[in-house]
Amino acid sequence: MTRFTRSAALIALGMGTVASLPALAADTLHYNQISLRAEVSQEVARDQMIVTLYTEAQNTDPGKLAAEITTSMNKALAQAREVKGITLRQGSRNSYPIYDNKNQKITGWRERAELRMESSDFAALSKLTGEMLSTLKMDSMDFAIANPTRKASEDALLKEAVNAFKARAQLATDALGGKGYKIVNLNFNTNGYPQPYARGGAMMMKAEAMDSAPTPQVEAGTSQVSMSADGVIEVQLP
């Protein structure tokens, strides 16, 4: 085949491809499609209490300091394990040097260790916290939505979001004079499930300053959570 013949063949192929483009474009066009969004929400109780306590000390001997911190934490863990329904997690533990005024010589060591306690039994954890404040200090008291509660909430919101989307889809179909619709795609997104909510420092300082160890009064409150349904429908016109 000559160069001219090959060129002619390529041109013919190219023209054939161009000629088929309108047909391909017609196949990919989507008529009567509408994007819709529906959103539902509910109040969900923060039903998980999270308390972080810590012990802190300093010593010129890092070995003795570590032993002192370990002893304090072991006693705290043993005390907390006596209470049912409390999940215990050891938090961070850090040790760092203390320098003289000129920052040239190490004069001692300071160490801090944390104990994190979680429970849905607010009364039990509050009582335990009050008792442990006689030997430990409070870093934070937080509230969150427990995983089982979150899952149940999401399942309920999902059903509500689907029904809300269907109602809006039917409303749009009726407005256009359609005889029906079909859902092309549908996506769900949740919002508002909080990270643990921390109580203010004023309450914590007050608890630390008390000579006795009263039970802290707590009110976890609720969070407004929502789920949105974003999708596309295709309206079937008469």
Residue 171: is its pLDDT beyond 90? yes
Q: In Å, what is the CA distance from 31 to each residue of 104, 186, 231?
A: 77, 18, 15
pTM of the model: 0.68
Provide the pLDDT confidence category of residue 73 given band limits of 50, 70 and 90.
very high
Q: In Å, what is the CA distance from 204 to each residue of 110, 194, 209, 217, 227?
A: 22, 21, 9, 12, 35
Residue 203: is its pLDDT beyond 90? no
Return the amino acid letter for 86. Answer: I
* Of 149, 83, 148, the residue nearest 115 (C-alpha): 83
H/E stretch holding 213 reads none
User: Rounded mean pLDDT of 41-58?
Assistant: 94
Return the amino acid letter for 153. Answer: S
Cα–Cα distance measured from residue 131 to residue 125, given in angstroms and rounded to the nearest whole number: 10
User: Rounded mean pLDDT of 68-84?
Assistant: 96
Choose between 216 and 54: higher pLDDT: 54
Cα–Cα distance measured from residue 100 to residue 98, given in angstroms and rounded to the nearest whole number: 7
Q: Which two tokens stand for residue 173?
A: 């179909």
Return the amino acid letter for 226. Answer: S
- At residue 214, the pLDDT reads 55
Contact, 91 vs 115, CB < 8 A?
Answer: yes
Cα–Cα distance measured from residue 44 to residue 59, given in angstroms and rounded to the nearest whole number: 47
Can you tell me which residue has the tokens 């161009």?
Answer: 18
- At residue 24, the pLDDT reads 47
Q: What CATH number matches the domain at 48-144, 3.30.70.2970, 3.30.470.10, 3.40.50.1100, 3.40.50.2000?
A: 3.30.70.2970
Q: Which two tokens stand for residue 28?
A: 């990919």
- At residue 104, the pLDDT reads 80
Give me the chain's average pLDDT, please: 82
User: Rounded mean pLDDT of 167-178?
Assistant: 95
Residue 200: is its pLDDT beyond 50? no
- At residue 50, the pLDDT reads 95
What backbone phi and psi angles, to 5 degrees, belong to 121?
A: -95, 90
